[in-house]
Each structure stands twice: as structure tokens, then as C-alpha cells.
Amino acid sequence: VSLKPIVQGMLEHVMERSDNNDDGALSDAIPALQEVDPRPFALAVTTIDGEQYCAGDSDVSFTIQSISKPFVYALALESIGSAEVLNHVDVEPSGDAFSELSLMPETGRPFNPMINAGAIAAHALVPGDTEERVDHILDLFSRLAGRRLTMNSQIYRSEREHADRNLGIAHMLRARGVIESDPESVVDGYIQQCSIEVTARDLSMMSATLANGGLHPVSGERILSPAVVRQTMSVMLSCGMYDIAGDWITRIGVPAKSGISGGVTGALPGQLGITAFSPRLGPNGSSVRGFRVFYELSQELSLHLLDAAPATDDIVIHSREGQDANGKPWRVLQVLGAITFPGAERILRELSDLSDEFTELSPENARLVVDLSSTLRINPIGRQLLAEAVRRIAEQASRVIILDPAGLLDRLDKAAFGRAELHRRRDTVPKHKAVTVHEPTLELRPEGHEE
Ligand code: GLN
């Protein structure tokens, strides 16, 4: 039974609700965009492991326009580092329209890389001359999309002939020392960047790579580093939707970027890349149906970032009593899932209660296993708190063993655990359903250990 139609049907259903909405108009910012077909409507969703659900006209090409901005920003960050990029472009929402000739009064830098001023500056930060920059950009976009992309020369030429505003911005940037390169060639490269053709399917794959922390969902290639992705998605969240960024985040809650050709793409960390496409724009320069369909999808699939399950839901802690083959009592604390700060804090409370029980036992009968064999991951603060907890308990107990077959705690110095013993032996992992711990726990003992 193929169950893909279940999810596919949800997408189609969501699209149907906006199907008859013909509000808005084609962009008048670029003459050639007035000529495009206003009818295509697409919704594409890509999971972080590369499954795609495409509805409507997901294979219709359109120029990427401003949706190129977050990806070129990521390329600049990757190429010259965050500190240097921040010396040229800030990360503050402007509340302005995308084409505003504006700089932050305090810093003299563009507000953010999502409006044209910041995007043109970010383009200029990509190393090389105009041709090399465009090559880099086309290459990056193609790797993200998973196929070779090309440029739409007709729309490029049309925008190039009507580039006064962007040229004005670039001259302002050079006058203020934000860019050093020739404004004409920077704008030429920037317009080429905006003319790269993509489909909704492509863009959802590109965004899914962001959602996946920079690892390509299909090839598994590391294309961007996690820190770069985090910074890029942060500015998408705060500035990606220009002067409707506030409305977008409160109602839809997905870091996103729109473009004047009618695309909107969103990246939901650890979950999905999502793209909608419909060329008719509202007064703010974003797709009318795109907004609508993102809203419906966010509602329908509960995608709002702030509706995310609390991190404590990622963890299950089982506390059990057991005994070894010699009939000696052990306490076993098994941790399933992921340990981040909130989970670690709960483990500490659990361990406190558990070690209180030790005081009722004779010290030589106070034995504890912390079983991490079903723990998926642990972050640095989780590691630190767990090590400190077992170190303190080990001072009071007869034995404390941490079972860590995956080596989640390897990065910590052995000394951090004090008297607690770290074991990696996979064959000694107690079974999940075993409430009473027999042989396996006994086998945990290092060879030659004296009780
Ligand atoms: N190429 C367009 C410009 O720079 C992109 C604008 C947009 O999509 N918001 O004006």
C-alpha cells in the first residue's frame, strides 16, 4: 500500500482553498515579469531526509529573484566568515520595502541582507570578479537544488535595462564604504543571481538543506556549516518577509523568503523545506496565494515554530530497581531520546531522588547504572551536567556505572566523572523491557574489579 497519497492529498487540499483567489498583480518592477503566465500555482514540501511532496505546478520554472538573497548571504558567510560579513551588513529588521535606499543611521551599513541594499552588499562579499561570483552562486544553488540550474537571459536583460534603483543603492553603498567593487558590475552580478531559474520543487530542496543544518537531504553532502545555516535562517525569520515579517512570523511561524516572481520558500529547522509559487503579488511584493497557502499549511500541519514540542518531550527517563546475579541491588536509570538542557535538568532531579534512597541502604549496597544505550544524542551542557551529577553521586555510593555504548560522553575528560565508571560494552546493554537487571549489569563490571 503506498501511503504517500495521504500527505500528498493534504497539500492538494490546502491548495484548493486558495485556488480561486486571483487577488494581486504581476510585479511591475521588472518589465519582463509583466509577460509571465500568472496562472501557475505550486506547493512543494521536502523532508530533511529528501522525500518530496509536490502539488500543482511544482515543475514550472521561474526566476529566483529575492529568494536568492539568503543563499548568497550564506555563501558570503561561508567564504569570509561571520565577523567580516557583519562588518558590512547588519542583521536588523528594517520594516521597509525591499528596494528602499536605506542604511542604518548608527552604523552606516545596510539593515539586513534580505533587503536589496544588504543583498547587493552580500553579493559583493562573495570572493572573485563578477563572473567568478556568479559562477560560485550558480554552482552553490545547483548543488542545493540537486540539479544544474541556468539563468533566464530575457528576464536578466529586462532587469538590467531598468536597474536604476539598484544602481542607486550600489553607488550609495560604495560612497559609504560598504562595498569596494565597481557598482555597475556588482549590480550586474546581483541581477544575474536574481535571474537564476528554479522550480518550487528545487527551492523546497534548497530550503530543506537549510532545515537539515546544511547537509543535503538526498546526497548527504555537507554544503553549508551549521553556524552559517543558523545565522541565515535567523535573518530569514526576522527580515525575510520585509515589511510583513511581523505578520508572517506571528501567523505562519516559519523562517521564509519571498521574491517578486511569486515564489516563497520556508525552512523549518529539523523538519522541512517548503515552497509555494504563484506570480500575483500583494502590495508588499510577496505572492498573495503564497502567503495564503503557507498560512493554511502551517495551520493544517501545526508548523508554527513556537508550537514546537517542548524539549523535555524528547526525553524519557526510566528509573528501575534491579539486582545482579549475586542478588545485590542496583538502581538503573535509563535515558531514551535526546539530552539537552531541560532533559538534563530532569535527569538531575531524578538522580537526586534516587540517590536519596541510597541513604536508606548501606553505602556498600548503593549501586547505580545510568544507561545511555538508548540515548540518541546529548549536547555539551547535557554532557557537563550529567558528568557532574554522577561524579557527586559516586562519592556517596559504592559503585556508579555509566553505560555509554555510543560514546556520547567521549568528549569529556575521564576526570570529570570522578569515581563513576564509564563503560562502552554494547553486549552488556540491559534490554529495554527488563525491569529486573540480572546478568547484563553484572557483566558491566570491568575485569578484575573487587567489590
Ligand atoms: N531582482 C529584484 C530586485 O532586486 C528582486 C526583488 C525581489 O524579489 N523582492 O529588485
CA distance 260 to 334: 53
Using the mean position of ligand 1's atoms as its centre, give its distance from the Cα of residue 353 in Å.
59
Element (H, E) at 350: helix 341-358
Q: Give residue 427's pLDDT.
A: 52
How high is the pLDDT of residue 8?
96
Q: How far is CA 110 from CA 117, 128, 187, 237, 301, in A?
A: 6, 22, 15, 17, 36
pLDDT of residue 439: 31
d(CA 14, CA 21): 13
- What element of type H or E holds 320? strand 315-323
Block means of pLDDT (10 residues each) for the chain, length 451 residues? 94 95 96 97 98 98 98 98 98 88 92 97 98 98 98 98 97 96 98 98 98 98 98 96 90 97 97 98 95 96 88 84 78 92 94 83 82 93 96 91 93 92 66 34 36 36
285 ligand 1 Cβ < 6 A: yes
Of the candidates 425, 348, 355, the one whose C-alpha atom is nearest the C-alpha of residue 383 is: 348
**Is any atom of ligand 1 closer than 6 Å to the C-beta of 116?**
yes
Q: Establish whether residue 194 lines the binding site of ligand 1, counting it when its CB lies within 6 angstroms of any ligand atom.
A: yes
Question: Which numbered atom of ligand 1 lies nearest the CA of 66?
Answer: 8
CA atoms of 154 and 209, how far apart (whole Å): 29
Q: In the structure grid, which three cell numbers stand for residue 178, read together?
A: 560598504
Distance between alpha carbon 396 and the CA centroid of its chain, in Å? Answer: 43
For 435, the grid coordinates are: 525491569
C-beta of 286 in contact with ligand 1 (< 6 A): no
Please enumerate in sequence order all residues whose Cβ is within 8 A of that of 60, keeping only pairs 6 or more positions apart, or say none.
40, 42, 199, 200, 277
Joined grid coordinates for residue 59: 515543475
Ligand 1 atom nearest the C-alpha of 242 is: 9
CA dihedral 399, 403, 407, 411 (to 10 degrees): -30
**167 vs 17: CA distance, rounded Å:** 40
DSSP H or E stretch at residue 230: helix 226-239
The string of DSSP letters for 37-77 reads -S---EEEEEETTS-EEEEESTT--EE-GGGHHHHHHHHHH
Per-residue model confidence (pLDDT) at position 265: 98
Beta strands in 227-277 (DSSP E): 256-258, 263-268, 272-277
Phi, psi (rounded to 5 degrees) for 6: -65, -50
**Pick from 59, 86, 60, 53: which is nearest to 297 by CA?**
53
**What is the predicted pLDDT for the residue at 320?**
83
Which string of DSSP letters, residue by residue, matches 101-147?
----TTTSS-S-TTSHHHHHHHHHHSSS-HHHHHHHHHHHHHHHHTS
Ligand 1 centroid to residue 124 C-alpha, Å: 16
Q: How far is the CA of 370 from the centre of ligand 1 (A)?
A: 55
Distance (angstroms) between ligand 1 centre and the Cα of 238 equals 18
CA 195 to centroid of ligand 1, rounded, Å: 10
Class of residue 387 by CB neighbours under 10 A (exposed 0-12, middle 13-18, buried 19+): buried
Q: Is the CB of 98 under 6 A from ligand 1?
A: yes
pTM (2 d.p.):
0.89
SS3 10: helix
Cα of 86 vs centre of ligand 1, distance in Å, is 22
